[in-house]
Amino acid sequence: MSYEMVLPYRVSDAGEPADLPLWHSVQQFLFQEAALLDRRAFAEWLDMLDDGIRYWAPTRYSRTPRERAGEWSRPDQAAHFDDSKQFLALRVRRLLTDRAWSEDAPSRTRHLVTNVQVRRLADGAIEADSNFLVYRGRVDDCEEIFSGARHDRLVGSDGPYPFRIAERVILFDHTMILANNLGIFF
Amino acid sequence: MADGIADMRPAAGWIDAGAGTIDAAIYWDPAVYALEQERVFGKTWLCVAHESLVPKAGDFFTSRMGEDPVIVARQRDGSIAVFLNQCRHRGARLCRADMGQAKVFACSYHGWTYDLAGNLISISKESVVDGGKIDKTRWGAVKVAKIHNYHGLIFATWNPDAPAFDDFLGEAKWYFDMMFDRPGGTEVIGGVQKWVVKANWKLGAEQFTSDIYHFDYTHVGTSMAFMPPDMPMGEPPVVNGRQFRDQGHGGVVTTDVQLSDMQTAIAMGMDVLAYNQSRRPLMAETLGALRGHDAQPVHANIFPNLGILPLNQTLRLWQPRGPGEMEVWAWTLVDKEAPPEIKERARLQTQFTFASSGVFEQDDAENWAEVQRALRGPMGRSAVFNNQIGRGESRDPDGIFPGTTDFAMSEAAARGFYAHWQKLMLEDGQ
């Protein structure tokens, strides 16, 4: 019975805070990602994702004080996203058909990414936590704000970006999603 | 509300099922909405939960019956109770958790406490506030009149005169049994997904009842994305099957099992398809060859607001939230006996296709919201919509499927949905 939130993922204890150059390059990477999403450069965004990525947004609940530990869905329960790279690529392919009516006209998003904390893990991977506030406008009367946090595991890459996202957990600050759909990326 | 009805109802009613027309007022008018809460949601059977959400004594799930909040709780004797989530003292909700485990429900306002069945068991500071004079047996939470467990789906109604559950399903039961009378029973994947669509709840319900017609156009982008890039688009195959309808319920079953299996392979994956195929002989033992393996259910809605996509293994409640909004509550439905890896695959595929982020579902919500967007001005609000698609056949010409049926792409079941809705709306509640 803890008042403190029980996170839906395991926090690795074998890690150390990143030094300034690593912290800076991870933050720049996350900012670049946000810029790609807001520019709708989705094909390029896919290059930032590791082929083995799990892109997971567990559902969230209001619970009784005794059951606060159940605030988040377990990994085998309901989720708003639980995507592989293949699923994410299909989502992008759908958008590029020009027949995805729910994104016609496309959402106008602005991803504000803040509170970036970076740790280097014993196995060489990098853990990056960040907060987001995503604004979404659509056509002439739709305004949505999504708030939340992300927990990312990054691995080094010799591709166009210094890292690839190997795991992303998206923690929405909503139990009920106040939107017609989650047709955008976080 | 009852005295206002004559003023707000168009002379011929909102619905003319014979002519196939719908008055747009049923989607936006606050007076229609308020009456609908009483006469539709207040009178008919409503699905409130799946029993697997409350497996153990003390497990509860907070649900809705129309706009009324209810608690669905497993009792110590294994039965399930459903009662209004409202304290009888000053009316605060007794429980604001989405789900969980409880011994009692204590109101956070003054501490009146109710047991798992909603009976008032204690009044705080009883002796100080002279509470002993209050007859606790008369001040329990308001209980539903009837509860029925239909193959794991928990239904409840406020109406003591509601028909027996099987009569409520009527001829459509033969078809719904194909979806829920599964060997070993069904369960839903833990938790629930909820999101708000800016559209009247009937737009979701009607589509699941009666609209396979929309699929090829609404979901063209997603269908294209699923196809190999070099494959020519062509005209999608027409679903051969029958659309059933009775008492507002409706749906489609197809005899083109090969096509349905191909769609399952695409939407749910080969492993889920192979598992489902392996269950058909067992299904046939209970329900016969036609319902076991010669036909497959495609889409359906149990009146008023339980939508079902058997192929995509998803269940959803269209919860009214004012005339212009609905909450969609969605679950993934699996066989209890399915191996863990099949349940996991179904969970992932359903989440990807029909859910808050579902690549098919997104386009549905978009269209419903577009209907609602155009219902703000006087011209849009006074519109009469066309609901005339289909021949309106009543019997299967091949004599295979029982009950009242039409060809798959008909809107006869939508006409039936709205006609039943109007029948309830016009009946006096007495």
CA distance B166 to B130: 47
Which residue ranges form the domains of chain B, and what is each CATH number? 46-150 (2.102.10.10), 170-426 (3.90.380.10)
- Taking an 8 Å cut-off on Cβ atoms, the answer to whether B366 and A93 are in contact is no
Residue B2 confidence (pLDDT):
45
- pLDDT over 90 for what percent of chain A? 92
CA distance A67 to chain B (A): 7
User: Closest chain B residue to A84 measured between Cα atoms?
Assistant: B348
Residue B268 with chain A: CB contacts under 8 Å: none
Nearest to B155 by CA among B315, B44, B67: B44
Residue B224 with chain A: CB contacts under 8 Å: 94, 97, 99
Instruction: Please say whether the beta carbons of B397 and B11 come within 8 A.
Output: no
Q: Is pLDDT at A2 greater than 90 in this prediction? A: no
Mean pLDDT of B225-248: 83
- Taking an 8 Å cut-off on Cβ atoms, the answer to whether A102 and B189 are in contact is no
CA distance B193 to A80: 7
Chain B interface includes A56 (CB < 8 A): no
Structure tokens at A164: 């690839």
Nearest to B143 by CA among B114, B122, B164: B114
Instruction: Please say whether the beta carbons of B15 and B418 come within 8 A.
Output: yes
Structure tokens at B424: 């309830």
CA distance B163 to chain A (A): 34
Structure tokens at A25: 């390059």
Question: What tens digit of pLDDT does each residue of B12-61 get?
Answer: 689 998 899 999 999 999 999 999 999 999 999 999 999 999 999 999 99
Q: Work out the pLDDT band at B9, boundaries 50, 70, 90.
A: low
* Window 83-112 of B, Cβ < 8 Å to A: 95-102
Residue B226 confidence (pLDDT):
87
DSSP string, A13-29: SSEEEPPHHHHHHHHHH
Q: Where are the alpha helices (DSSP H) in B305-404?
A: 340-353, 361-373, 378-381
Residue B235 confidence (pLDDT):
74
Cis upstream peptide for A179 (omega within 30°): no
How many residues would you count in chain A? 186
Instruction: Please say whether the beta carbons of A99 and B236 come within 8 A.
Output: no
The shortest CB-CB distance from B356 to any of A80, A100, A101 is to A80
In 3-state terms, chain A is what percent helix, strand and coil (to 5)? 25, 40, 35
Instruction: Please say whether the beta carbons of A186 and B357 come within 8 A.
Output: no
- Taking an 8 Å cut-off on Cβ atoms, the answer to whether B191 and A81 are in contact is no
CA distance B145 to B165: 13
Mean pLDDT of chain A: 96
* Window 93-132 of A, Cβ < 8 Å to B: 93-95, 97-103
Q: What is the DSSP letter of B200?
A: -
The shortest CB-CB distance from A180 to any of B198, B222, B331 is to B198
Q: Work out the pLDDT band at A111, boundaries 50, 70, 90.
A: very high
Residue B5 confidence (pLDDT):
55
Q: Work out the pLDDT band at B1, boundaries 50, 70, 90.
A: very low
**Residue A160 vs residue B8, higher pLDDT:** A160
Structure tokens at B271: 């492993």
CA distance A54 to B189: 19
CA distance B198 to B202: 12
Instruction: Please say whether the beta carbons of A111 and A34 come within 8 A.
Output: yes
Mean pLDDT of chain B: 94
**Interstrand relation of B306-309 and A142-156 (parallel, antiparallel or unpaired):** unpaired
Mean pLDDT of B87-92: 98
CA distance A88 to A170: 14
Question: What tens digit of pLDDT does each residue of B97-146 get?
Answer: 999 999 999 999 999 999 999 999 999 999 999 999 999 999 999 999 99
> Which amino acid belongs to residue A164?
R
Q: Work out the pLDDT band at B430, boundaries 50, 70, 90.
A: very low
- The ipTM (two decimal places) reads 0.96
Chain B interface includes A175 (CB < 8 A): yes
Residue A86 with chain B: CB contacts under 8 Å: none
* Window 26-55 of B, Cβ < 8 Å to A: none
Q: Is pLDDT at B429 greater than 80 in this prediction? A: no
